[in-house]
Structure 1
């Protein structure tokens, strides 16, 4: 087995807990702006003292409501300021946060609340409150519910007014690194979600070693600010929330993905967290706009893409020559500067996780002046285990282990992980814990990958997602799907072929890209069912498939595909909240389409 380790950089004392920094900074730097809260169209600064006081007020309310140390408190909300207040208030009261995705069904909510034994629930909206009510059914002893949009924080603060400060301080300081901080239920693509037990030490060790090590440069700039828009119920965004609080980076929230573009321009962050689909959408939108502007604009854009890619690769292998630097400077005025302006003009770096970004996008964004650092990890590893480093960003990999982490690659290619960031086990599920963590302490991730000589990890697929054709050929679907999805008209792609004579694919169309395509092709108002069968659309998708097929051997190539007349979405139940395709559900729900491919 190949292994690569990076020594611990920042040790975390056993007494530390996640709420410490909020109270320490509130006392030592009371006037420092730590959060920017959106109110209407304005961004209102929140100081360290103001944030601490609001956290303390809600925490006292939880204590008054009967929350004891170690009690679980569920939190169901979009990504917004109040989420962060509630998160830290739960910790300050000695509780354990149990996040629930705001899109969760009543059945999912019922499972998480009942399995975790949550004592109370904080929800965002009336709809969320109704969902929790539906989950309760006729159950006796169902936990109390507070609604953020119904004045929950004011109610809790008033209820906790009589709780002495000494009591709250005692609660907070009684929780240490070994104590449970959160139970995060994996969204999963199959089966019931499992609750991952993460301790205060898991989270703080990860946050401080990432921020003080590989990504230190991103959090050591004047006016540092970050916009969070991914669901805080997901471990990736949650860990970044902690990193931002720990580093004093001004944190802002966007609860609605549709508001990301205007909020980027208004808030002007220096740092961004995203998943590959977000960066794909940014690229595809720019490409579509260029195409809509006519042949010259389209040619300029694609030339700019080529120069950005060439410049990025040259910089990674010794530096660009004068001619290339001059060409890049010219396209910077024509293309790249406009892309950066659309993000507020201050953004120069972003971190991507959740699935593979790919070299195409990584090189383009780096060449355009927004370097994307790809990382990798799972909920069970407190989100990240590896990440690329400013100044040593090896595009196409997910980077090196962060300090204190060891990565191993087993003989069958499975990626294994050790470190203080590895979870404490699955809640109420010792059998699953024993299956995931072996006797030597290795966490078995289920991902397949390769370690290069410098310790950089490349993820090549999932053990359980490998397709084996009827001819016995093993096919990793991810590289094919990523390349097909790169086409501007494509939203999602899922490769099939298990026990079949050849590899095929289901393809869905991007609704936003279709709007522009309709206008450009005189098809305004044409329904998606009609466009899915349009020869021009079919030809465009065929070009994407042909491009993907260049990556693999002939036996692994996609021989047939079908363009579906509906998209895979989180709302339809076919995507996880981190935008991964639920392969088993797609296979079930689109069985007739799959059968037709092999008819």
Structure 2
């Protein structure tokens, strides 16, 4: 039996009336959560769907549906709420999902071309959901045996890739995270990231269940998230004050927003908050230090969907400035001669439509990230191998590193750094509403002080609008789509270099 499901059943017997989960509309005890999962499992067994797509906000329904699919061994495909209708249709067609579980009666983002017009209304205690049969491309039913989860990630093309994961791989990560974070029954984990994000799915549902901890799952709007890139940190501060979590996960941008609000309001985090994992992008050390000075227990980590999320993590006893920590117990990490990070353990089964991932002769998967280990085994990540550009002076620059140095400055909200085969780098910047040109220039100067001369910003362009999913300048995980941004601002970039020559 799955360790997660075994722990759930055990908690329902040993602590039936203790609170397992708290959502916007109330709470569920361990016995209620287990019973709801079993009820939905029985419903799924009657219908025998091939693959289930899950489209819902954070909340009890998401957790129940996930657990029911695990118990019935049906592949589950979380669909991010910020995906466009075209991306959703691609994901459904790609994986051959034939049933949609949804928390709304008319999901406008789910094209009618792939779903029935009216769903079947169902209730699980006080939880309500709708089930829609899905229409997939004829004959498009990939072999998903041994696959428990398909998580879709989007690259620069915008066409999501389905990463196939086994339950064993995901549970090995969850067990490692329990050990690394010293998870305990008294914990209260607040899910800030969408459950459709693999890390939150594993660390925010599976790990707390293994530990017997309480899941705090408010809706995304309640914690201040809208879409993939709009965030109101004031709402998060309010939820943290109301729910008093002990653990949570943030991206660098969310952490920066939280830090700025706490600094402005002179608020302190509540004393029970003991572990904030931060990952998803390169993080400027200064941001972590600002957070720590405010009393936020922040610890940087590193992971990829293809590695079932987390690979390394700093902890209270093992942390170092600029490092993403030591490898977790379930995994083996190497760095190749060219600096590429290689991983073995808890790897994905391949992308949808492919048989197995491409691994080398020693069993390692090449991540495409660049990094190095220090003498004490701490890993440092510089950025994506494919994003590194070479200046006209032959220097390698990781733009993500430079962008984090820029975005830690208050006047700068978003940044995209470019400079392939050029004498200096240019930054395309989205500024804070109140930022003046002088404030932006001063912020760049501050960032440049933290950088070697070859990586410093030589000129900058103020973007016409924020980078978003809608204008196709931002990827789903919050990364700037460099090629698209370079094309959008090509004339102004050319003008900057011409004026400097």
1:77 paired with 2:77, answer no
Who is 1:339 aligned against? 268
2:217 aligned to which of 248, 253, 260: 253
Q: Is the 8 A contact 2:284 2:408 kept in 1?
A: no
1:387-431 per-residue CA deviation (whole Å, 9 max, x = no partner) reads 112222223200001113111000100000111x11122221248
- 1:438-457 equivalences under 5 Å are 438-457=360-379
Aligned to 2:208: 244
Give yes or no for the alignment of 1:365 onto 2:291: yes
How much does 1:107 deviate? 1.1
Following superposition, which runs of at least 4 residues in structure 1 exceed 6 angstroms of deviation?
154-160
Q: Residue 495 of structure 1: SS of its match in structure 2?
A: strand
Instruction: Note the C-alpha offset of 1:506.
Output: 0.3
Q: Which has the larger radius of gyration?
A: 1
Equivalent runs, 1:82-93 vs 2, <5 Å: 82-93=61-72
Shift of residue 135, structure 1, vs aligned partner: 4.8
Residue 481 of structure 1, CA deviation: 0.7
Which residue of structure 2 aligns with residue 578 of structure 1? 477
User: What's the offset of the Cα at 1:383?
Assistant: 0.5
| Equivalent residue in structure 2 for 1:29, among 1, 6, 15 | 15
Do residues 234 (structure 1) and 133 (structure 2) align?
A: no
Which runs of 5 or more structure 1 residues have no equivalent in the other structure?
1-14, 137-141, 161-177, 291-334, 518-535
Question: What residue is the counterpart of 2:354 in the other structure?
Answer: 429
1:280 to 256, 266, 269: 256
- CA drift of 1:157 comes to 9.4
2:111 alignment partner in structure 1: 133
From 394, 412, 429, the counterpart of 1:507: 429
Given candidates 474, 481, 495, the residue that maps to 2:417 is 495
Higher relative helix content: 1
Instruction: Write out per-residue CA displacement over residues 161-193 of structure 1, whole angstroms, 9 at most, x where no aligned residue.
Output: xxxxxxxxxxxxxxxxx9321011113334522
Alignment-derived partner of residue 112 in structure 1 = 91
Name which structure has the greater RCO, CA cutoff 8 Å, separation 6+: 1
Q: Deviations along 1:462-483, whole A, 9 cap, x unmatched?
A: 1100112334332111221111
Give the SS at the match of 1:464.
coil
Aligned counterpart, 1:166: none
Aligned to 1:395: 321
| DSSP 3-state at the match of 1:374 | strand
When the two structures are superposed, what TM-score results if normalisation uses the length of structure 1? 0.74
Please name the residue that 2:137 is paired with.
Answer: none
Match of 1:63? 45
Output the CA distance in 2 between the equivalents of 1:447 and 1:409: 10
C-alpha spacing 1:369/1:399, structure 2 compared with 1 (3 Å): same
The match for 2:156 among 189, 192, 202 is 189
CA contact (8 A) 2:103 2:129 kept: no
Unaligned runs of 5+ in 2: 132-144, 225-234
The TM-score, its normalising length taken from structure 2, stands at: 0.87
Distance 2:492 2:119 in 1: 45
The DSSP-based 3-state class of the residue aligned with 2:436 is: helix
Q: Take 1:56 and 1:475, find their aligned partners in 2: how far apart are those partners? A: 52
